[in-house]
Amino acid sequence: MTGASGDSLTASLESVRTVLDEGGVALARELFAALDVVDQQGALRRALTDPAWSTGRRHGVLDSLFGGRVSPGALQVLKDLAGRRWSAERDFGDALEAVAADAAAGEAARGGHAGLAALSGELLGFQRVFQDSHEVERALTDQRAPRESRSGLARRLLGAQASPAAVLLVERAVTDGRGVKPATALRSYADVVATRQRQWIAEVTVARPLDDGQRERLAAGLRRAFGRDLVLDVNVDPTVVGGIRVQVGDDVIDGSMARRLNDLQRRMAA
């Protein structure tokens, strides 16, 4: 998703981040159910993406359709998406699917980077099932088979220890792929998880190698700056400006952010 729709998705994810983190899998289920309604009703899609309709009018449609039927958090997410600009009708549904997957990943994020890594492993591991067994692939993609049968097979293959987020996302991929193959849907969900993971990884570029003490002080400084423990990925580049550059997701600390940079460097040198 690119252009105006891509910008709208990015802005919406940022706007409702707290709601998604708190809602987790339960919220994701509601959003996926709303997506089914949006996909089934062309008139609704047109109403929610028509630039001639005001935001208030779009919100009114959502209130009449979903008010009292979904949680306040789900309605807030739907209204946030409906208040933004979409280049095509389908983009609204694609964005809603991505936001639902992000909510599921938010539950895994409660376990930090390790929780997200585990979910990513579950999704990519299940994706390999399609590559390794044509029989399983046929069983999971046979549209003549009842949804319950395909869903049940997916749960058995995942195993009893699978996380709730993995179960939800895998079931969606094999029963409601929205016109794409389950393996493709799983890859898109894994990409959502990977985006979440990057928020827990500090990509550090330094002019010279760090000793153990410097790494510990850097980790402590970043923990205070970002409010969570981060995984350090340290690379050495003698040409780096200011001696250090740190990127956590889209947030960059470099020579242009002198105060934060100098603070980190002082802690490392202490």
- The Cα diameter of the chain in Å comes to 67
Quote the pLDDT of residue 183. 86
Instruction: Tell me if 234 sits within 8 A of 210, measured CB to CB.
Output: yes
Residues whose CB falls within 8 Å of the CB of residue 217, separated by 6 or more in sequence, listed in order: 267, 268, 270
User: In the chain, which stretches have pLDDT less than 70?
Assistant: 241-242, 254-270
Quote the pLDDT of residue 256. 41
* Token output for 76: 């807030």
Cα dist. 134→141, 153, 166 in Å?
10, 14, 22
248 - beta bridge partners?
202, 251
202-213 burial, b for 16+ CB within 10 Å, e for fewer?
bbbbbeeebeee
The pTM of the whole model exceeds 0.85: no
Cα dist. 99→94, 140, 256 in Å?
9, 24, 32
Quote the pLDDT of residue 142. 84
Quote the pLDDT of residue 226. 84
Quote the pLDDT of residue 268. 64
Cα dist. 178→97, 182, 193 in Å?
10, 9, 19
